[in-house]
């Protein structure tokens, strides 16, 4: 690890919010496209 990497988290995480852009209801979304499709079908009213 180089000194420039210290203090940074480079993991990839899919996040979003439910409701509207300024919502405070966060969700962590599946990284796999197929699993994301399943998640969306399970929550059709989430925008």
* Residues 14, 30 contacting (CB under 8 angstroms): yes
Q: What pTM does this model have?
A: 0.54
Q: Calculate the CA dihedral of residues 28, 34, 40, 43 and round it to 10 degrees.
A: -80
The model's pLDDT over 4-39, given as tens digits with 9 standing for 90+, comes to 656 666 777 778 888 888 899 888 888 888 998 998
Per-residue pLDDT at 3 exceeds 70: no
pLDDT for 34 equals 92
pLDDT for 38 equals 94
């Amino acid at each position: 690890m180089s000194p420039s990497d210290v203090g940074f988290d480079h993991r990839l995480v899919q996040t979003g919010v439910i409701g509207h852009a300024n919502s405070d209801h966060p969700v962590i979304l599946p990284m796999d496209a197929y699993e994301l499709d399943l998640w969306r079908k399970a929550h059709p009213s989430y925008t």
